[in-house]
Amino acid sequence: TTQTTGVQAALDHLDSQVEAHLRELDDFLRIESVSADPARVGEVRHAAQWIMLELATIGFEHVAIDGDLTFAERFEVDRRAQ
């Protein structure tokens, strides 16, 4: 089915890009963003901005930071309904 094909395509993409994804994850995990430590407020903000950029890069349209939280929305047209 089309859904199975889409899932397989996503898995194939992840598999082919595993090293790049692991490097990106490593970059994110290096940000010292322990939100319970007031001395790390700048790093918490840096982590939120990193996530914001990644979400925007993969197609989320409305991305925002509110305090320590990052929000994102993605709107897609359900082509099956057309």
DSSP assignment of 31-45, as one string?
S---TT-GGGHHHHH
Q: Rounded to two decimals, what is the model's pTM? A: 0.66
**pLDDT tens track for 4-32:** 788 888 889 889 999 999 999 999 999 88
Residue 44: CB atoms within 10 A of its CB come to: 20
Of 24, 23, 16, the C-alpha closest to 54 is 24
Share of the chain above pLDDT 90, in %: 16
User: How much is the pLDDT for 59?
Assistant: 85
Residue 65: CB atoms within 10 A of its CB come to: 14
